[in-house]
């Protein structure tokens, strides 16, 4: 039986699992997987993952007698433990997120990315199989630019809501971007009181514009739609490079046999001429002004950073309690 998930894969879209709960991943046969502090926190509370926390605690204790050093080391090791387990299941790459509190510090972001890659390599995972997730701030994009260019570290620029962010990421030569479809929809529903479906969905429209712009201007950066609220959004983006999808929506697609026609076509987009080229990567004032002018993108970027930072702190507190036990 051919499922909607099969049909989606047949459009050329690479399916990625958006979950830290790796025991639920294998059934959908994704190529890649994405994690973030919120997803790791949700998974870490499950008894089946206690051994990963134990390994992280042991690592933290081996690094220092200072509690703050211990918890930071344990946190990094926990992210890598989850990533390593996920990579044993999937053939492709895992995305691991840098601490969201570093989102406005280029040098600290670069240092943390290198630490995470070194940790992965210490447990036998090559850097080619890891994407370092960084928020799409000015500082984050510049950090990713230098990591890609100087260190060969692949980056996934996340919390991307605005066109200017997407343009700067492509110019920076980052491997992949994660425009957040559902969170864009949330903002518009709240601000207008309207409901949107399919192609009318502002999150879907945003990703389509980015995809078409990248293909028209020959950028190699992968467009990976993320943060979906329903399968309608997913189907409306069939044909986009990658889609990262939560297990609940993957299950819905797997249980359905509805056709999923291709909606986005890279070849056709490359021949278009309707989106003039713009530039932001070397113009910080213009980048910041463009982001500020887009209330949705500005609000959701900062809200997202705060939420990831809060969940990261909650996870650190779980580890802190275990370190002190």
Distance CA 31, CA 87 (A): 10
Question: Which residues lie across from 135 on neighbouring strands?
Answer: 158
Q: What is the mean pLDDT of each run of 10 residues along the chain (325 residues)?
A: 97 96 91 92 89 96 96 97 96 98 98 98 98 98 99 98 98 98 98 94 98 98 98 98 97 98 97 96 98 98 97 95 93
Cα separation, 184 vs 180, whole angstroms: 6
pLDDT value for 272: 93
What is the per-residue pLDDT for 325? 87
Are 322 and 56 within 8 A, CB to CB? no
What's the pLDDT score for residue 304?
98
Beta pairing, strands 222-225 & 176-179 = parallel
Task: Evaluate the CA torsion angle 132, 135, 139, 145 in order and state its sign.
Answer: positive
262 assigned to active site: no
Say if pTM beats, i.e. exceeds, 0.95.
yes
- The whole-number pLDDT of residue 43 equals 87
Spot the catalytic one: 9, 84, 133, 316.
133
* Count of H-run helices and E-run strands, the chain: 14, 8
Buried-state track 206-244, b at ≥16 Cβ within 10 A, e below 16: bbbebbbbbbbeebebbbbbbbbbbbebbbbbbbbbbbb
């Amino acid at each position: 039986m051919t499922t909607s998930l099969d049909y989606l894969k047949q459009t050329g879209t690479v399916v990625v699992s958006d979950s830290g709960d790796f025991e639920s991943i294998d059934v959908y046969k994704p190529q890649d997987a994405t994690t973030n502090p919120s997803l790791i926190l949700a998974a870490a509370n499950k008894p089946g993952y206690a051994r990963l926390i134990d390994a992280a605690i042991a690592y933290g204790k081996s690094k220092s007698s200072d509690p703050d050093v211990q918890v930071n080391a344990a946190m990094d090791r926990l992210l890598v433990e989850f990533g390593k387990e996920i990579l044993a299941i999937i053939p492709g790459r895992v995305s691991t997120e840098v601490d969201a509190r570093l989102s406005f510090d280029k040098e600290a972001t670069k240092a943390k990315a290198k630490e995470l890659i070194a940790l992965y390599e210490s447990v036998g995972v090559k850097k080619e199989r890891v994407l370092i997730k960084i928020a799409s701030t000015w500082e984050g994009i510049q950090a990713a630019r230098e990591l890609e260019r100087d260190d060969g570290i692949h980056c996934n620029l996340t919390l991307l809501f605005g066109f200017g962010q997407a343009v700067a990421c492509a110019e920076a030569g980052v491997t992949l971007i994660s425009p957040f479809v559902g969170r864009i929809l949330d903002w518009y529903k709240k601000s207008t009181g309207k409901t949107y479906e399919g192609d009318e969905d502002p999150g879907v429209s945003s990703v389509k514009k980015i995809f078409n712009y990248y293909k028209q201007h020959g950028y190699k950066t992968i467009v990976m739609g993320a943060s979906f609220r329903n399968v309608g959004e997913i189907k409306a983006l069939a044909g986009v490079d990658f889609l990262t999808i939560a297990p609940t929506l993957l299950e819905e697609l797997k249980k359905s046999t509805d056709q999923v026609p291709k909606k986005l076509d890279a070849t056709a987009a490359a021949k278009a001429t309707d989106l003039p080229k713009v530039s932001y990567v070397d113009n910080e004032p213009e980048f910041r002004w463009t982001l500020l002018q887009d209330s949705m993108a500005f609000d959701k970027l900062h809200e997202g950073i705060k939420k990831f930072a809060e969940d990261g702190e909650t996870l650190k507190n779980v580890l802190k309690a275990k370190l002190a036990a």
